[in-house]
């Protein structure tokens, strides 16, 4: 999993825990909010994260494994899904169920399109089809710089 945080922000990420793994979620609970984008580039991601983390903190809710998924709806908007251990008052939620294959990638966020294509090839190589992709940007840019690595995990629903 993840090691304790050294930056007072994002924990150091361990890609081996998530790379090439099969994950089964049954009604996994997430807080859901929307991020405005310009050609897939998030414009208010930090603001949306801070707003929702405040809701979690105020309600005593935990974010297991620090998972925050990006579900790109179009070039203009994406949904931010923050895993939670209980319902959060005043927050929209979504439950996700299914079988997923995860794969860790390292590099700049601008590689997301390339990684999505690689992920689909990886899944197809297993004789499966990716029905949906979720992106987990595991650390903020400040922490990625501090740690010297910038990991993204893609969860492919199969």
Is residue 41 within 8 A of residue 78, CB to CB? The reply is: no
Is residue 12 within 8 A of residue 147, CB to CB? The reply is: yes
Q: Could you tell me the domains of the chain?
A: 15-157 (3.20.80.10)
State the Cα–Cα distance between residues 78 and 69, nearest whole angstrom: 10
Per-residue pLDDT of the chain (158 residues; tens, 9 = 90+): 455 557 888 889 999 999 999 999 999 999 999 999 998 888 999 999 999 999 999 999 999 889 999 999 999 999 999 999 999 998 999 999 999 999 999 999 889 999 999 999 999 999 999 999 999 999 988 999 999 999 999 999 99
Q: Is the pTM of this model over 0.85?
A: yes
């Amino acid at each position: 999993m993840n090691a304790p945080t050294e930056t007072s922000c994002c924990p150091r990420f361990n890609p081996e825990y998530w790379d090439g793994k099969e994950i089964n979620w049954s009604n996994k609970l997430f807080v859901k909010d929307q991020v405005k984008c310009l050609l897939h580039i998030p414009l208010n991601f930090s603001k949306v994260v801070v707003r929702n983390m405040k809701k979690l903190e105020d309600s005593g809710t935990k974010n297991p494994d620090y998972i925050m998924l990006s579900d790109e709806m179009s070039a203009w908007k994406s949904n931010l899904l923050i895993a939670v251990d209980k319902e959060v008052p005043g927050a929209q939620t979504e439950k996700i169920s299914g079988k997923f294959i995860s794969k860790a990638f390292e590099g700049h966020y601008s590689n997301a399109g390339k990684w999505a294509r690689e992920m689909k090839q990886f899944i197809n190589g297993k004789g499966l089809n990716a029905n949906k992709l979720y992106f987990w940007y595991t650390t903020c840019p400040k922490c990625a710089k501090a740690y010297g690595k910038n990991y993204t995990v893609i969860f492919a629903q199969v």
